[in-house]
Homo-oligomer: A and B are copies of this chain.
Amino acid sequence: MSVDEVLTARAALSRLFEPSDTVGLALVAAAGPVQALRIATGEQAAPPAVAAETAAYLSSGSGQGSALAEGLQRWAPRVADLAPGRDLDAIRRLGGELLVPEDSRWPESLRHLELGMPLCLWARGTLARGLPVLERTVAVVGSRDATGYGLSIAGDISAGLANRGYTVVSGGAYGIDAQAHRAALASAPSEETATIAVMACGADRFYPAGNDDLLRTVAARGLLLSEVPPGSAPTRWRFLQRNRIIAALSAVTVVVEARWRSGALNTAHHAAGLGREVGAVPGSVYSANSAGCHRLLRDGSAVCVTDAQEVAELAQPLGTTAADTTAVDTEQSGAAREGVGTQADARTGEPGGDGGKGGNRRAVQDGLAVEDLLLLDALPVRSGTTIDKLATVAGLSPPGVRAGLARLELEGLAVRTGADLWRRGRH
- B contact residues around A388 at 8 Å (CB): 77
A234 touches B264 (CB 8 A): no
- B contact residues around A418 at 8 Å (CB): none
A312 interfacial contact with B, CB 8 Å: no
- B contact residues around A338 at 8 Å (CB): 260-261
Complex interface residues of chain A between 190 and 226 (CB less than 8 A to chain B): 200, 207-210
B358 touches A260 (CB 8 A): yes
**Minimal beta-carbon separation of A401 from chain B (angstroms):** 9
Task: Report Cα–Cα, A76/B263, bound state, in Å.
Answer: 68
A307 contact from B70, B175, B285, B306, Cβ within 8 A: B285
Q: Which of the segments A26-34, A139-147, A158-166, A179-187 contacts the partner chain?
A: A139-147
Task: Tell me the number of copies of this protein.
Answer: 2
Contact with B along A108-150 (1 / 0, CB 8 A): 0000000000000000000000000000000000111101010
Chain A, interface residues (CB within 8 Å), range: 35 or more
**Minimal beta-carbon separation of A196 from chain B (angstroms):** 17
A347 touches B174 (CB 8 A): yes
A326 interfacial contact with B, CB 8 Å: no
A337 interfacial contact with B, CB 8 Å: yes
Complex interface residues of chain A between 332 and 377 (CB less than 8 A to chain B): 335-341, 343-358, 362-363, 365-366, 370, 373-374, 376-377
A349 contact from B18, B208, B239, B335, Cβ within 8 A: B208
CB-nearest residue of chain B relative to A256?
A: B285
B356 touches A262 (CB 8 A): yes
Complex interface residues of chain A between 72 and 100 (CB less than 8 A to chain B): 73-78, 81
Q: Which of A290, A354, A396 is the most central at the interface, judged by chain B CB atoms within 10 Å of its CB?
A: A354
Q: Which of A143, A147, A152, A177 is the most central at the interface, judged by chain B CB atoms within 10 Å of its CB?
A: A143
Task: Report Cα–Cα, A266/B73, bound state, in Å.
Answer: 65
A236 interfacial contact with B, CB 8 Å: yes
Contact with B along A273-308 (1 / 0, CB 8 A): 000000001111111111111110110000111110
A235 contact from B16, B293, B374, Cβ within 8 A: B374
B395 touches A355 (CB 8 A): no
CB-nearest residue of chain B relative to A303?
A: B298
A259 interfacial contact with B, CB 8 Å: yes
Task: Report Cα–Cα, A400/B365, bound state, in Å.
Answer: 73
A351 contact from B70, B236, B345, Cβ within 8 A: B236
A7 interfacial contact with B, CB 8 Å: no
Task: Report Cα–Cα, A76/B363, bound state, in Å.
Answer: 32
Complex interface residues of chain A between 372 and 409 (CB less than 8 A to chain B): 373-374, 376-378, 388, 391-392, 394-400
Known interface pairs A283-B282, A288-B341, A399-B73; A336-B260 also in contact (CB < 8 Å): yes
A281 contact from B18, B145, B285, Cβ within 8 A: B285
A188 interfacial contact with B, CB 8 Å: no
**Minimal beta-carbon separation of A347 from chain B (angstroms):** 5
CB-nearest residue of chain B relative to A260?
A: B337
B285 touches A306 (CB 8 A): yes
Known interface pairs A259-B358, A356-B145; A284-B283 also in contact (CB < 8 Å): yes
A21 interfacial contact with B, CB 8 Å: yes
- B contact residues around A67 at 8 Å (CB): none
CB-nearest residue of chain B relative to A388?
A: B77
A356 touches B285 (CB 8 A): no
A171 interfacial contact with B, CB 8 Å: yes
B343 touches A289 (CB 8 A): yes
**Minimal beta-carbon separation of A385 from chain B (angstroms):** 13
Q: Which of A81, A237, A263, A289 is the most central at the interface, judged by chain B CB atoms within 10 Å of its CB?
A: A237
Task: Report Cα–Cα, A211/B130, bound state, in Å.
Answer: 64
Q: What would 20 more interface pairs be, CB under 8 Å, given A77-B391, A261-B357, A261-B362? A: A21-B395, A74-B395, A76-B397, A144-B350, A145-B344, A153-B285, A174-B349, A209-B349, A235-B378, A236-B376, A236-B377, A238-B377, A259-B358, A260-B358, A282-B304, A285-B306, A285-B307, A289-B343, A297-B297, A298-B303
Q: What would be 5 A-B contacts, judged by CB atoms less than 8 Å apart? A: A74-B397, A77-B397, A175-B347, A262-B356, A295-B337
